[in-house]
């Protein structure tokens, strides 16, 4: 493989699907999505992978938004001469310009993606300790007014589970099918033209 894509774990499945669809000669290596609960870990974990992969690939591209690192991730990438795809976080990658419109319409929006729907119990409930301290639910979610599910794949099981998440939160659900949105376009901008595997 000529290119390593160091991806946020919340994007790994989708990035692998895009790579396969496009026939790119690239390996996807994911960083734990749980780093989003501790954004100060993201830059360091990405840097460790950059160092580990440096001798094995001609090119390394980071598939991450800033994701709350407050510029620390871009500082790491500048030191290593590595680029990342543009964007502040995965919600904007999927929704594109529509993300700003959704936030303007209702700032109290809790966003779901296919990843978050699949992993809600592990990433959100256990990740935030709500399995042990359920009384914190209102502290975390009391200011939200709706759930917007940015759907990548039309899947009845995921849609049903998104409904369960919204019901657990006690909020109305708005489903927007985005597909891979700007994620695929920005990956293509960074990687096309790439040679297909020999």
Question: How many domains does the chain divide into?
Answer: 2
> Do 137 and 149 reside in the same domain of the chain?
yes
Confirm whether 54 is domain-assigned. Answer: yes
Q: Which residue has the tokens 């690239």?
A: 26
Length of the chain: 198
CATH number at residue 81: 3.40.50
Region of residue 83 (phi > 0: left; psi between -120 and 50: alpha; otherwise: beta): beta
Other Cβ atoms within 10 Å of 62 Cβ, number: 23
Which alpha helices (H) appear in the chain, and where do they start and end? 12-22, 42-53, 72-80, 90-95, 98-105, 114-119, 137-141, 156-169, 181-191
- At residue 69, the pLDDT reads 84
> Do 11 and 77 reside in the same domain of the chain?
yes
Confirm whether 134 is domain-assigned. Answer: yes
pLDDT tens-digit profile, the chain (198 residues): 589 999 999 999 999 999 999 999 999 999 988 888 888 999 999 999 999 998 899 899 999 888 878 888 999 999 999 999 887 788 999 998 899 999 999 999 999 999 999 999 999 999 999 999 999 999 999 999 999 999 999 999 999 999 999 999 999 999 999 999 999 999 998 887 655 555
Confirm whether 170 is domain-assigned. Answer: yes
Confirm whether 130 is domain-assigned. Answer: yes
- At residue 176, the pLDDT reads 96
> Do 76 and 115 reside in the same domain of the chain?
no
Confirm whether 197 is domain-assigned. Answer: no
Question: Which are the contacts of 35, defined by CB distance < 8 A and separation ≥ 6?
Answer: 8, 9, 41, 42, 45, 67
Q: Would you call 59 helix, strand, or coil by DSSP?
A: strand
Query: What's the DSSP call for residue 58?
Result: S
Q: What is the CA radius of gyration of the chain?
A: 17
Question: What DSSP string runs through 147-197?
Answer: EEEEESS--HHHHHHHHHHHHHHT--EEEEE-TTHHHHHHHHHHH-S-PPP
> Do 128 and 170 reside in the same domain of the chain?
yes
Q: What are phi and psi of 155, to 5 degrees?
A: -140, 120
Q: Could you list the residue range(s) of the whole structural domain that residue 105 is in?
A: 97-177
- At residue 123, the pLDDT reads 93
User: Closest Cα to residue 85, out of 27, 19, 5, 21?
Assistant: 5
> Do 104 and 135 reside in the same domain of the chain?
yes
- At residue 75, the pLDDT reads 94
């Amino acid at each position: 493989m000529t290119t390593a894509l160091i991806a946020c774990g919340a994007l790994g499945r989708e990035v692998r699907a895009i790579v396969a669809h496009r026939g790119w000669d690239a390996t996807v290596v994911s960083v734990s999505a749980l780093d989003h609960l501790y954004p100060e870990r993201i830059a360091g974990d990405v840097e460790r992978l950059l160092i580990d992969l440096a001798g094995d690939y001609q090119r390394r591209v980071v598939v991450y938004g800033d994701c709350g690192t407050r510029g620390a991730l871009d500082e790491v990438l500048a030191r290593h001469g590595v680029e990342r795809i543009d964007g502040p976080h995965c919600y904007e990658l999927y929704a594109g310009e529509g993300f700003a419109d959704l936030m303007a319409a209702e700032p109290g929006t809790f966003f779901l993606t296919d990843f978050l729907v699949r992993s809600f119990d592990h990433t959100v409930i256990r990740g935030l300790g709500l399995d042990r301290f359920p009384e914190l639910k209102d502290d975390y979610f009391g200011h939200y007014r709706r759930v917007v599910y940015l759907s990548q794949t039309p899947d009845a099981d995921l849609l049903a589970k998104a409904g369960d998440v919204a019901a657990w939160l006690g909020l109305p659900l708005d489903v927007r099918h985005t597909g891979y949105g700007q994620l695929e376009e920005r990956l293509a901008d960074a990687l096309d033209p790439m040679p297909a595997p020999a």
